[in-house]
Amino acid sequence: MTAIDSIIEKSLKNSYIYTDYRSHVSQLLLEGLSTGTTQSEALTHYSTLNEVRMNRLDKTIKIPQEVNDTLKNLDKEYTLLVISEGWCGDAAQILPVINKMTEATDKLDLQIVLRDDNTDLMDAYLTNRSRSIPKLILLDKETLEPINSWGPRPAEAAKLIIDFKEKHGVINEEAKTELQKWYLHDKGLSTMQEIVGLLG
């Protein structure tokens, strides 16, 4: 077993299914806490906003017919291992979409791990040397071999943030608002299409 295989196996033992992840984040919020090793009013505030977003997305996300057809016709089973935290705005937009995809087929299994509890896994899947989340690791469900990875956000959303930083030199609340507007307009379609593109 390679080092990454061992890390993935350990992380899966530490993972949540979607409903348990949602319950865990909600329970912490009742105690005035967020997930993760750092606690602050800001992170709790973001976690509270994300609860509202995810509740809405759970009810409103629709899978287009072409994506649905692809999911129904997968000839292989996959585990989607996603690194997340309750305070992460991108994760709040993306996790409900991935969950809807897994509900549409018995070939996909979603497992979620918390970044700060699984730093060895996170550090194996950095984005530009950063612990950016959410990060999806596509695994062969039978062998748990990693096939591909995706994240922390769809390509167009990533470009929006890069362009904003180049223009303004910083990622501020205005950038976060523009990003949330993008997600609202996109309705999860880019996330679905890009993840379907990984499923070969």
Can you tell me the mean pLDDT for 54-69? Answer: 97
Can you tell me the mean pLDDT for 27-38? Answer: 97
Q: Tokens for 18?
A: 């979607």
Whether residue 188 is predicted with pLDDT greater than 80 in this model: the reply is yes
Cross-strand pairs, 127: 130
The contacts of residue 96 (CB under 8 Å, 6+ apart) are 54, 57, 58, 61, 188
At 2 the pLDDT is: 86
At 63 the pLDDT is: 97
**Alpha-carbon distance 73 to 199, whole Å?**
11
Percent of the chain with pLDDT over 90: 97
Mean pLDDT of the chain: 96
pTM across the whole model: 0.96
At 185 the pLDDT is: 97
What is the domain range of residue 37? 3-198
At 51 the pLDDT is: 98
List the CATH number of the domain containing 39: 3.40.30.10
The contacts of residue 32 (CB under 8 Å, 6+ apart) are 44
Inter-residue contact 29 to 48 (CB < 8 Å): yes
Whether residue 91 is predicted with pLDDT greater than 90 in this model: the reply is yes
Q: How many domains does the chain have?
A: 1
Going by C-alpha positions, the residue among 194, 32, 22 that lies closest to residue 91 is 22
pLDDT tens readout for residues 113-160 = 999 999 999 999 999 999 999 999 999 999 999 999 999 999 999 999
